[in-house]
């Protein structure tokens, strides 16, 4: 639990720490016989779309970017039909382009 002070200097609220619902409790009874120190490593391949969704959860950073008016107008049109803000559309386009560039770069490196 973490302490969180409210506006009143005397009052303290106890707020439980956020737990990842997908995390496992390594000390749980069902894992008591697992030898965690001697587990073999396994390689897995993550779907690029999933990897991008994970990366997109990171905290956003404000930047200044010059964009053509036509691109802004198109983003607004797309945003209006999708019921979202045009800035979110621009961010998504930027993320898709970055993901494509990353995938292309990694394929060149391994192939």
How is the chain split into domains, by residue range? 68-111
Q: Is a pLDDT exceeding 90 seen at residue 79?
A: yes
13 or 95, higher pLDDT: 95
Output the pTM of the full model: 0.49
Arithmetic mean of pLDDT, 39-53: 84
Average pLDDT across the chain, whole number: 82
Q: What is the pLDDT of residue 84?
A: 92
Residue 48 phi/psi, 5-degree rounding, is -55, -35
Q: What is the pLDDT of residue 14?
A: 67
Arithmetic mean of pLDDT, 74-98: 93
């Amino acid at each position: 639990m973490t302490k969180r002070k409210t506006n009143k200097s005397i009052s303290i609220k106890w707020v439980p720490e956020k737990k990842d619902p997908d995390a496992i409790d390594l000390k749980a009874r069902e894992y008591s016989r697992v030898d965690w120190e001697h587990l073999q490593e396994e390689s897995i391949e993550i779907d690029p779309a999933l990897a991008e969704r994970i990366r997109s959860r990171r905290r956003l950073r404000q930047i200044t970017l010059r964009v053509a008016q036509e691109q802004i107008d198109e983003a607004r049109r797309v945003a209006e039909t999708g019921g979202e803000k045009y800035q979110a559309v621009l961010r998504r386009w930027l993320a898709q382009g970055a993901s494509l560039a990353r995938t292309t770069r990694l394929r060149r490196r391994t192939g």
